[in-house]
Structure 1
Amino acid sequence: MNTPRKEVSNQTINTAGLSKFFASIYSYMAVGLTITGITAFYASQSAFILNLVFGTRFGFLGFFIAEIALVMKLSANGAKLKSAGASIVGFIAFALINGITLSSIFLMYDLGSIGAAFISTAASFAGMSIVGFTTKKDLTSLGGQLRGALIGLIIAMLVNGFFLQSGPADMVLSFITVVIFIGFTAYDTQKLKELYVHYSGEQNLGALAISGALNLYLDFINIFLGLLRIFGGGRD
């Protein structure tokens, strides 16, 4: 969603309203991460689900397409400032589907590595979200650079076989993934603050909060997966 940039200052922001807006964003995000984590763990214990997703040629692709469709729908709802009710079901569905597609991490990595990666991700995410919320620097240009870097990363991942091969290239691509999405965390946080300023006169910001939670959720997940690939200890 593109909006004219407004100078974000204490004079132009309803502080209480902004705090409530971000509290709802982080609450939705936390619920999404919880649903994804629980779903991933239990899906990893189900031979039926694992076979459905990873045992067929088009299983994973079907789930991936469903995720893309939900992301587009939630983003559209946010842009149209629909009510939270129009988006919350879609957000929960996305978190469930993503949990299923991430179930393989419980087969590839031990719980200690997953926990350590999660804690490191939480610390990195919190730090950069604070930076994005408090900085006076306009991060608009950073967003364009990050999107360009992300396109390059996707191409490199395709060439490298979606990280299915082990080696130094995997570590480099994982490190780049972490850097890109740490940057996106600061950028997305500032963007959400600016969107609140732009639409603060509107009565209905529920879907906007959920689409914002989805963006930050995706930043968190990608940082987590990158750190897990770098530092994670595989199962024996």
Structure 2
Amino acid sequence: MSEFNTTLRDHPSVRPDMAVDAGLRGFMLGVYNKMGVGLMVSAGLAWATASVTPVRDALFVVSDGRLTGYTPLGMILAFAPLVVLLGSAFLVRSASPRMVSLLYWSVVALIGASLGAVALRYTGQSLASTFLITAAAFGALSIYGYTTRRALSGIGTFLIMGVIGLLIAGVVNIFLQSSLLMLAMSGIGVLIFAGLTAHDTQRLKLTYHQLGGDQAAMGAATSFGALSLYLDFINLFQFLLVFLGQRR
């Protein structure tokens, strides 16, 4: 879904050669903490929608413990985060910290609930191992984005275009059902969201200095930053699952 967090990337380019201070560390720690809690909430909701029988049966069509389709309510849930993110594009510039926080937790809850389908499609062991690999890769890429003096803003537009291409290809593949196209999309998706992880981390570092100590704006930026990195992580995880996940 992170093709729709491009609205969070509209800050002017600034050279990333600023000094790291306690305020910046506190800001970034707040972003990472909120993102981490969001991932835990999503994992809990995914477990619930995959394991609690009445909830599972209301959302998914399951045969012998494996996902075979979606109910109408499940289809609505699958597309709900996309609708929320599209709608939020009109609120970005005037949103209060409370509104942005509500947006973040709404997206986390919706995506988490819809990830029950992933839990029904892949074994628990492969989900756990892929999550750990994603976390390690995400951490390394985020550290690179935080510490590099190379400006990454130039690749942002290219990556966003790639995400739009992935979205179009995904819609096409709904009708084609091509495993080869899915494999190609997943490989490209891993590269794109790896790049976005580093890019978005650097962008957040620059955003902190652009806000100049505005606490209200800082509160909103923390939630927007957590949402951006959360979406990068979730997409990276799901694309890696295509290569590393073991189906039930």
Relative to structure 1, is the Cα distance of residues 3 and 107 closer, same or farther in structure 2, using a 3 angstrom cutoff? closer
Q: TM-score, normalised by structure 1?
A: 0.87
Query: Which residue identity is paired with 2:27?
Result: F
> Does residue 126 in structure 1 map to residue 139 in structure 2?
yes
The aligned counterpart of 1:139 is: 152
Shift of 1:5: 2.3
| Shift of residue 104, structure 1, vs aligned partner | 1.1
Q: Which SS does the other structure have where 1:104 is aligned?
A: helix
| Distance in 1 (alpha carbons) for counterparts of 2:141 and 2:89 | 22
Tell me the residue number matched to 2:187: 175
Report if the CA contact (8 A) 1:8-1:197 is conserved: no
**Contact 1:74 1:211 (C-alpha < 8 Å) held by counterparts:** no
Say whether 1:66 aligns with 2:80.
Answer: yes
Rounded Cα–Cα distance in structure 2 between residues aligned with 1:115 and 1:23: 24
Q: Percent identity?
A: 32
Which deviations, in whole Å up to 9, do the C-alpha atoms of 1:32-58 show, x marking residues without a partner? 100000100111013433343346664
Give the secondary-structure state (helix, strand or coil) at the position aligned to 2:51.
Answer: coil
Is the 1:18–1:193 Cα contact (8 Å) retained in structure 2?
yes
Partner amino acid, structure 2, of 1:35: V
How big is the alpha-carbon RMSD for the aligned residues of Structure 1 and Structure 2? Answer: 2.3
* Structure 2 CA distance for partners of 1:77 and 1:210, relative to 1, 3 Å: farther
Runs (5+) with no aligned partner, structure 2: 1-7, 62-69
Residue 72 (structure 1) shift: 4.9
Which amino acid in 1 is paired with 2:190?
V
Query: In the alignment, does 2:39 pair up with 1:25?
Result: no
Q: Distance in 2 between matches of 1:97 and 1:103?
A: 11
Which consecutive unaligned segments of at least 5 residues does structure 1 have?
none
Residue in structure 2 matched with residue 100 of structure 1 by the alignment: 113
Cross-structure match for 2:172: 159
Give the SS at the match of 1:161. helix
Kept in 2, the 8 Å contact 1:35–1:96? The answer is yes
Q: Are the aligned partners of 1:74 and 1:207 in contact in 2 as well (CA < 8 Å)?
A: no
1:217 positional shift: 0.3
Paired residue type of 1:151: I
Q: Is the 8 A contact 2:16 2:150 kept in 1?
A: no
CA 81–166 in structure 1, closer or farther in 2 if over 3 Å, else same: closer
Deviation digits for residues 160-214 of structure 1 (CA, Å, limit 9, x no counterpart):
228x946333222111111110111011111111111100331221111111100
Structure 2 residue aligned with 1:213: 226
CA distance in 2, matches of 1:26, 1:76: 25
What is the distance in 2 between the residues matched to 1:207 and 1:72?
18
Q: Which residue of 2 aligns with 1:86?
A: 99
1:6 corresponds to 2:20: no
2: CA distance, partners of 1:108 / 1:143: 32
Shift in Å, 1:61: 4.4
With normalisation by structure 2, the TM-score equals 0.83
